Chain A
Amino acid sequence: MMEVKTRPRITDGALLVLLAVFTAVSPRLLPAGAVGDRVLVQAGGKEWGVPLLEDGRREVPGPLGPAVLVVESGSARLQNAPCPLKICERMGPIRRAGEVIVCLPNRIVVKVPGREVVDAVTR
Chain B
Amino acid sequence: MRSPARLTTMAMLVAGAFALASLERVLPNPFPMIRLGLGNIMTLVAFGTLGVSGGVWVTAGRVGLVALLWGGLFSPATVLSAAGGAASLLVMVPLLLTGRFSFYGISMGGAYAHILGQLAVATLLYVRSAGLMALLPFMGAAAIATGILNAWVAGKLLARYPGGSGSRV
**Chain A residues within 8 Å of B, Cβ to Cβ:** 1-9, 11-12, 15-16, 19-20, 22-24, 26-27, 29-31, 116-120
Contacts and interface: CB of A to CB of B under 8 A. Distances in A.
21 contacts: A1-B169, A4-B48, A4-B106, A4-B167, A6-B155, A6-B159, A9-B101, A11-B100, A12-B102, A15-B101, A15-B109, A19-B143, A23-B136, A24-B137, A30-B133, A30-B134, A31-B130, A116-B129, A117-B129, A118-B129, A118-B134
B140 A7 contact: no
A17 B131 CA distance: 25
Interface of B: 47-48, 95-96, 99-106, 108-109, 112, 129-131, 133-134, 136-137, 140-141, 143-144, 148, 151, 154-155, 158-159, 165-169
B135 to A, nearest CB: 10
A3 B108 contact: no
Q: Which 3 A-B pairs have the closest CB atoms?
A: A6-B155, A23-B140, A119-B131
Contacts of A3: 166-169
Contacts of A116: 129, 131
Contacts of A27: 134, 136-137
Contact of A2 (B99, B103, B140, B158): B99
